[in-house]
Amino acid sequence: LPSLNLKYAFSENVVGRAAYYASLVRPAFGEMRPTAALNDDRDEVEMGNPNLDPYEANNFDLSIEYYPTKLSVLSAGLFYKDIRNPIFGATYDIDQLPGSIDLGFLGDAGADIEEVATYINGETATVQGLELNYVQQLDFLGGFWEGFLASANVTIVESEASVPDEEDVAQTRDVPLLKQNDLIWNASIGYDKGPWDLRISANFRDDYLDELFGADLDRYTSDHLSVEASAKYDVNDNLQIYVEGKNLTDEPEYYYHGAESRLSQYDEYGARYVIGARLTY
């Protein structure tokens, strides 16, 4: 597929970049699987869709990067994606199925089906956004302090897709792109000097569309903040010991239909810790 990358150095420490590339992503096997699962009452079926088209996109990126020192960078970027055939998980009443869904293979087993959970292609989608990035190693402080470092990144996104309406499949409605956050940010501080490598970071993502059910019933995943930390120590050139902790604040994750008051699923994963050693030779 075609691609074009351009780079221009405005000065020794300012670089501009522009890029275009076309991309094609085939549906996952689970989305296309030629199988179906009926519930106990045989009135609902969950199935793949072998008739899915691949996801195609034209992608445009533009960025500017400033390098104040050899170990620091400040950058800003714009991006735009024009997408055809975006793929969504969706649930339809039997009398509102899109034409790409074929239940004929179920035979008599499908006689009582009222609802179908499957995958569909939307018509078109667009994604546009801004990304800001900052990385700084405090090497200019010298001595013990030069090992400190900090970084931060934020991405702001606006997305829109056109999909068949669950209430009237002959019509379309606009929704956010599936699993696309409107806001993502992360920040990290650390120390990396001599045998020590210490890091603590926070990662945030906004809520996002998880599955289509209807204009007021679409399922969303809640926003989530995760805090992680790690410590590594090089005993010698061949042996490193480390400890890592993830989700230190034990943040839950929940899903809701349309509004947060309509809870669909609630998960608690707890904090996770790993202690280990790495040996190289």
* CA gap 221, 107 in Å, rounded: 36
Q: In this model, does residue 100 exceed pLDDT 90? A: no
DSSP letter string over 27-88? PPHHHH-S-EEE-TTSSEEEE--TTPPPEEEEEEEEEEEE-SSTTEEEEEEEEEEEEES-EE
What is the predicted pLDDT for the residue at 144?
Answer: 84
For residue 134, give the 3-state DSSP assignment: strand
Q: Which two tokens stand for residue 104?
A: 């004929």
The H or E element that residue 203 is part of is: strand 196-205
* pLDDT tier at 109, thresholds 50, 70, 90: low
* pLDDT tier at 42, thresholds 50, 70, 90: low
* pLDDT tier at 15, thresholds 50, 70, 90: very high
What is the predicted pLDDT for the residue at 35?
Answer: 83
Which whole number is the average pLDDT over 159-184? 89
What is the predicted pLDDT for the residue at 102?
Answer: 76
| CA-based nearest residue to 135, from 185, 183, 189 | 189
Which whole number is the average pLDDT over 142-162? 93
Start-end of H helices in the chain? 29-32
Strands 115-121 and 44-47: parallel
Mean pLDDT score across all residues of the chain:
91
* CA gap 128, 126 in Å, rounded: 7
* pLDDT tier at 110, thresholds 50, 70, 90: low
What is the predicted pLDDT for the residue at 222?
Answer: 94
pLDDT digits (tens, 9 = 90+) for 61-86: 999 999 998 889 999 999 999 999 99
What is the predicted pLDDT for the residue at 7?
Answer: 97
Q: Other CB atoms closer than 10 Å to residue 253's CB: what's the count?
A: 15
Give the number of residues written for the chain.
Answer: 281
Q: Where are the beta strands (DSSP E) in 67-171?
A: 72-84, 87-93, 115-121, 124-137, 148-164
Q: How much of the chain, in percent, has pLDDT values that exceed 70? A: 99
Task: Give the class (CATH, top level) of 23-206.
Answer: mainly beta
* 271 phi and psi angles, rounded to 5 deg: -75, 150
Give residue limits of the domains in the chain: 23-206
Q: Which two tokens stand for residue 126?
A: 């667009």
Q: In this model, does residue 39 exceed pLDDT 90? A: no
Q: Find where tokens 């302090």 sit.
A: 145
pLDDT digits (tens, 9 = 90+) for 242-258: 999 999 999 999 999 98
* CA gap 281, 277 in Å, rounded: 13
The amino acid at residue 35 is: T
